[in-house]
Structure 1
Amino acid sequence: MSGRILAEVEVFGLRSCHVQPHADEEWSVSSVSRSVTSAAADPVIEEFTLKGGDGPPSVLQTDGLNVDHVFAYEQRHVFQLSRAAGQGCVCERIEAAGCVVHEFTADTESLVVTFLVDDVPTLREIVADLQSEGEAVKLRRLLEDTPTEADRPVVLDRAKLTSRQREVLARAHEMGYFEHPRDATAGDVADALDISTSTFTEHLAAAQRKLLDDLLDSC
């Protein structure tokens, strides 16, 4: 089973997800489970867990779907909904490529999914497909299976980054921009750097692209 890749992908501006809209400023989605039968006419049953708030969360009735509160434990609330299959959501697109979603989290801005993929070409196809489901897709983490060299590190060439790009990355990391849910928005980090939000996102995208080139070349 060597050579597989664990990918963590973030998708913004979702179009088909029925779970992510239930996240709000207090409550984030910490997990999702799905039950699907082989019959195409049967509905998909999804259960999602909200955590983070103080009182009971308010859950939307999206697109005419009934959402039921089914369980509560340790400041977490589990909800269940039933929907039609084949709606082109993030999880369905990943599963269509032969992969299984291992982790799912979401906040008001995006969702993050973690899954195993056989190789980089398949990962690129999945990312390209996800771009038709959301406004933007970001690779957050890639981890290669290395059974003969446990935890083999990937060397990243920092010299490829300009001093400004390193500064932007460092400040974004320091302020919790890469946490999920985020501790700071793009505007917060831009203000701390005394630059515009568009300039921040341009520097960040350029830096991430250079680092991802190193990561993908090493896979």
Structure 2
Amino acid sequence: MSGRMLAEVEVFGPRSCKVQPHADDEWSVSTVSRSKASSDADRVIEEFTLSGGDEPPSALRDDHSTVEHVFEHDKRHIFQLSRAADQGCVCERIEAAGCVVQDFSADTESLVVTFLVDDVPTLREIVEDLKSEGETVKLRRLLEDTASETDRPVVFDRAKLTSRQREVLSRAHEMGYFQHPRGATAGDVADALDISTSTFTEHLAAAQRKLLDDLLDSC
């Protein structure tokens, strides 16, 4: 591929994110921004928005919360937290590779980050860097700039997938597992397939790895 690409990466149960844990069953994180603390160069200030619920979000209900509620409008609550600058989060690791985060969202299971990337090798480096920190990463989308498209189709070899892997992917897609916020959890899809959650995630990970190999080999 030539030209810049728009990548959408999902990180499950992120270990380094201080924002995602504040999402709950009703409230998801819809935006996040960061800046250096003016009074302390060793601190980073993060602001994030919780939206989507009817009852006050858990961050408001928790008397021991480490975040400060700073603004409310139209069922959207903005919170602010302070953390050590050396606690590199998912977004900061992506930005360290020279990319700018375009969009961020998170629910109870994962966070999704969208960013522009110059080429596939850089994207590979980002994914490997996140994995080296113990993160579980999935590439959800990869879009090429239409001004530089070569019209070369990406061919997925369905024969690489077992019948069970195709069934798992199909049911997960039908139930909205790949939407964000999710239409169904991993447990919901596993129940529908009458398998354990761990078996579902194993089949899903194997299928996604095969499809991703085809996608990146076509670039």
Does the C-alpha gap of structure 1 residues 20 and 207 become closer, same or farther in structure 2, counting only changes over 3 Å?
same
Does the C-alpha gap of structure 1 residues 65 and 198 become closer, same or farther in structure 2, counting only changes over 3 Å?
closer
Letter in 2 for 1:115: F
* Superposed displacement of residue 187, structure 1: 2.5
Which residue of the partner structure matches residue 96 of structure 1?
A: 96
Secondary structure of residue in 2 paired with 1:41: strand
Uncovered stretches (5+) of structure 1, i.e. residues with no partner? none
Q: Partners of 2:48 and 2:8 in 1: how far apart?
A: 19
Residue 20 (structure 1) aligned with residue 20 (structure 2): yes
* Superposed displacement of residue 68, structure 1: 2.0
Number of positions where the alignment pairs a residue of Structure 1 with one of Structure 2: 217
Letter in 1 for 2:97: A
Residue 214 (structure 1) aligned with residue 214 (structure 2): yes
Q: Partners of 1:212 and 1:100 in 2: how far apart?
A: 23
Secondary structure of residue in 1 paired with 2:41: coil
- TM-score, with length taken from structure 1: 0.86
Please list the CA deviations of residues 71-115 of structure 1 after superposition, one character each: whole Å capped at 9, or x if unmatched: 222211111222231212111111111111111111112111111
Uncovered stretches (5+) of structure 2, i.e. residues with no partner? none
Does the C-alpha gap of structure 1 residues 3 and 84 become closer, same or farther in structure 2, counting only changes over 3 Å?
same
- TM-score, with length taken from structure 2: 0.86
Does the C-alpha gap of structure 1 residues 65 and 16 become closer, same or farther in structure 2, counting only changes over 3 Å?
farther
Identity %: 82
Give the 5 Å matches for 1:1-219: 2-36=2-36, 41=41, 43-59=43-59, 66-149=66-149, 154-219=154-219
The CA RMSD measured in Å over matched residues stands at 2.7
Q: Partners of 2:136 and 2:46 in 1: how far apart?
A: 24
Do the aligned partners of 1:12 and 1:109 also contact (CA within 8 Å) in 2? Answer: yes
Do the aligned partners of 1:20 and 1:110 also contact (CA within 8 Å) in 2? Answer: yes
